[in-house]
Amino acid sequence: MQGGFEMGTIIGLVILAGVDWYLVRKTGLHIPQLISKKYAEYLRGKEHHK
């Protein structure tokens, strides 16, 4: 059963790499950079609503 788990992990990594590649082409940002940018925007939005 271990072989199936490894294959799933590899497929997951390939999917993540594909998503990251797509985001870099669309936004110029990698996934962690995109998340931190969105989080910063979210925090700024919260401060304005106080």
User: What pLDDT, in 10s, does the model give residues 5-50?
Assistant: 788 889 999 999 999 999 899 989 888 898 899 999 999 988 776 5
Q: Is the dihedral of CA 6, 11, 14, 19 positive or negative?
A: negative
For residue 32, what pLDDT is reported? 87
Helix (H, G, I), strand (E, B) or coil at 30: coil
Helix (H, G, I), strand (E, B) or coil at 19: helix
Alpha-helical (H) ranges within the chain are 2-27, 31-48
- pLDDT band for 3, please (50, 70, 90 cuts): low
pLDDT at residue 1 above 70? no
Q: Can you tell me the distance from the alpha carbon of 3 to that of 38, in angstroms, rounded to the nearest whole number?
A: 37
The pLDDT value given to residue 2: 62
Q: What CA–CA distance (Å, rounded) separates 37 from 5?
A: 33
**pTM attached to this predicted model:** 0.56
